Amino acid sequence: MVHFIGPEGQVSGGIELVIPASAPRWRTWAYTRYAKKPGLWRVEIRDVNGSLIAALPFEVEPEL
């Protein structure tokens, strides 16, 4: 599952991705249209048990 966590802790997403357990390396992508609030966001990938597999921060900048 992929979740996007906003600057105030709001959670968006819940996108299910299928990654074979036998894959030694993997690449995938997901996106959200709800990451509009400026600030530091975080994307998390979790397995079916809820264990964190990977996480990365990204920043949404305010419109000028």
What CA–CA distance (Å, rounded) separates 31 from 50? Answer: 20
29-64 confidence digits (pLDDT tens)? 888 888 889 999 999 999 889 999 899 999 999 988
Residue 6's pLDDT is what? 95
**Predicted TM-score of the model (pTM):** 0.78
Q: Is the dihedral of CA 49, 15, 60, 7 positive or negative?
A: negative
